[in-house]
Structure 1
Amino acid sequence: MRLPGSDLHRKAWLLWVRPDGRRDVSWRMWVLVWILPVAFGVSALALAGEAYYRTSFSTPVLGVVDKVYAWPGTIPFTGRQVTNYSPRFVYTDAEGREVRATSGSSHPSYDFPVGTEMEIRYFPGRNANIVIPGPLNWFVAKVVALVALACLPLSLLGWWWLRRWQRKGQPT
């Protein structure tokens, strides 16, 4: 025996109207509506957690700039030409070894003169990039969070439209 409306899942995948006039929205549609702000929000939290870990759980040490790598770059939105710099630091780790390392990233503000002494951070016992303390550690997490916030009004608009569409369905 077939129940009326039992084959609705075969007819519609996202939105459908039941035989009695009620309107239904699939869970798939709700996922589509909310996927962008949720995914970007979770990514922003993960990136912020990684930045927090790198800046909080690394060991501070005094480093000296011994070389500065430079190459041309372009600012994406303006097209302005800039020079990106990546300083190499020399520091003495906890075991007394002299180590040379870069941060693995570059920026126009990293144009430090050779011989500059500053606090850097590193992870003892690991052959990893150093961390240059400052706001650039949090930049990517902030940008991804802003994208999540930008997607939120679109999702709210989609949610409002779908709920409105559902309410207009009248049982007969």
Structure 2
Amino acid sequence: MTIIAITVALTFVFGWVFYLIANLFPIPGSKFVGVTVFSSFMLYFPVYKLKRNGIIFGVTAVLAGVMSLISILMGLAIISAGLMTELISWLFLDEFKGWKLRLVTGSFSLFGTLNSLLMTYYLAGGYGFSVLELIIPFIIMTAISFIGGYLGAYLAYYIIKRYLPEQ
């Protein structure tokens, strides 16, 4: 529980800085794309350390609760991304290490961006646009978020292997 609390606190503080920087880009959904590397980076550590199912949902549920104080839609995007990522981890993770762990924790950013874009589209009245006008930015943003998420998970993996060797 302490690891989850520390992870959420650090994610909130440093994530808020990245979130504010991402506000410089006037594209819907860019705020979550702006924090993709960092969110997967922070999610990788507790999952790697605790090595069991439910950790992803635990971290994202607490983070969603905290972030819902700022924006309920942000909290909904985080909790739904956490649920989707947890489902993927149940399906594909047999051991909590290797490229599968990096892929699963990196997918959190993909699902978060996907959920925030869908919420923005349906709640902000995106019906004024045709599907063709939105599909290219949608694909680009989700691809960037997945690549950023995987890079964040890989960076966490690299730091653990290089600077925090197992005893």
Common fold by TM > 0.5: no
Could you say which TM-score interval applies, normalised by the shorter chain? under 0.3
More strand by share: 1
Higher helix share: 2
Larger Rg belongs to: 1
